Amino acid sequence: MMEGMLKEGSLKGKTIIVTGGGTGLGRSMGEYFLELGANLAITSRKMEVLEKTASEMMQKYNAEVLPVACDIRNYSEIEQVIDQVEAKFGSISGVVNNAAGNFISPTERLSNRAFDIVIDIVMRGTSNFTLAAGKNWIAKKQPGAFLNIVTTYAWTGSGYVAPSACAKAGVLALTRSLAVEWAKYNIRSNAIAPGPFPTEGAWKRLFPGEVAEQIDPLKRIPLRRFGDHQELANLAGYLMSDYSAYVNGEVITIDGGEWIQGAGEFNGLEAISSDMWDMLEKMRSKK
């Protein structure tokens, strides 16, 4: 079902900020929030990308979209985003911490600056936005919802993307910590852990050149397909809506079974042919 799942108006009256909302998955989630009646603010470093996306979105959905440039590594820039969104839409109901930086590399080849850059965008950027938006909601006694986009290697770890794995693990810990601590302020914190969903940003950095052919990412997924952006948007729409009011501190995996395939000791037996199973059965029955 590659179509919108929630009923019309499910996010009516809500204002949602999506970091990294000008491209990729952030854009797809933002579009669905608009379809469901939300006001939307999108933020990232490149204003020209944000403006283009915002104008296409406004045309398509006949809705209000506010593009605001911001480097989430700088706390003061985030405070300005919050001020601008409130000035335009009145109040903020939810934040999707989606912006990220990532690339593949043997860890020993990374400079300390390269390691820092990913940690700074993913971990510090998310904690910055969370702190600024959370303090604002608490001071104004307003409810709120955080949705943090992590990955499945946030709990398994992964070679060749160690900075990203460290940072996403930190974001997951932040999600669970605040789900408890800030529940008393009526602020919910949840996360989504997507498997591979094709986007230009991820593909050119994680599967460049012949890498995709070498590791064949589809083979790693039991369902043998990548995710469709609408499938992720459906989950995000639900988690930002009041239908999920009792879901708090959860991380929902949407990866076609990818990570658990890698984890199960005997899942490699998928390679055993039917003929070979017949032979094994015969050997067993002879005993």
Contact 202, 261 (CB under 8 A): no
Report the distance separating Cα 61 and Cα 77, nearest Å: 28
Question: Shortest approach of ligand NAP to residue 148 CB, angstroms?
Answer: 8
Edge-to-edge strand order for the sheet containing 65-69?
A: 65-69, 39-44, 15-19, 94-97, 144-149, 187-194, 251-254
Q: How many Cα atoms sit within 13 Å of 259 on the Cβ side?
A: 16
Specify the DSSP element, H or E, that contains 193.
Answer: strand 187-194
Binds ligand NAP (CB under 6 A): choice among 144, 196, 237, 256:
196
Q: Which of residues 212-241 bind ligand NAP (CB under 6 A)?
A: none
Specify the DSSP element, H or E, that contains 195.
Answer: none
Question: Shortest approach of ligand HXC to residue 72 CB, angstroms?
Answer: 11
According to the binding rule CB under 6 A, does residue 100 interact with ligand NAP? yes
Contact footprint for ligand HXC (CB under 6 A) = 100-103, 105, 110-111, 113-114, 117-118, 151, 164, 196, 201-202, 205-206
Tokens of 271: 């390679």
Among ligand NAP, ligand HXC, none, partner that 117 touches (CB below 5 to 8 angstroms by kind): ligand HXC
Report the distance separating Cα 87 and Cα 222, nearest Å: 47
Does the annotation count 246 as an active-site position?
Answer: no
Q: Which of 32, 153, 160, 238 is flagged as catalytic?
A: 153
Among ligand HXC, ligand NAP, none, partner that 105 touches (CB below 5 to 8 angstroms by kind): ligand HXC
Among ligand HXC, ligand NAP, none, partner that 111 touches (CB below 5 to 8 angstroms by kind): ligand HXC
Residues 108-127: x/- map of binding to ligand NAP (CB under 6 A)?
Answer: -------------x---x--
Residue 70 or 118 having the CB closest to ligand HXC: 118
Tokens of 228: 């469709």
Report the distance separating Cα 119 and Cα 100, nearest Å: 9
- Piece of 2-10, 97-105, 128-136, 276-284 that binds ligand NAP (CB under 6 A): 97-105
**Ramachandran region, residue 210 (left: φ > 0; alpha: ψ -120 to 50; beta: rest):** alpha
Question: Shortest approach of ligand HXC to residue 56 CB, angstroms?
Answer: 20
- Piece of 51-59, 191-199, 236-244, 278-286 that binds ligand NAP (CB under 6 A): 191-199
Q: Which of residues 67-86 bind ligand NAP (CB under 6 A)?
A: 70-73
Q: DSSP secondary-structure letter at 122?
A: I
Geometric angle at alpha carbon 58, from 98 and 1, rounded to 5°: 60
Instruction: Give the DSSP per-residue string, 170-189.
Output: HHHHHHHHHHHHTGGGTEEE
Residue 179 or 221 having the CB closest to ligand HXC: 221
Among ligand HXC, ligand NAP, none, partner that 19 touches (CB below 5 to 8 angstroms by kind): ligand NAP
Nearest residue to 39 via CA among 76, 104, 91 = 91
Question: Shortest approach of ligand HXC to residue 211 CB, angstroms?
Answer: 11
Catalytic positions are 153
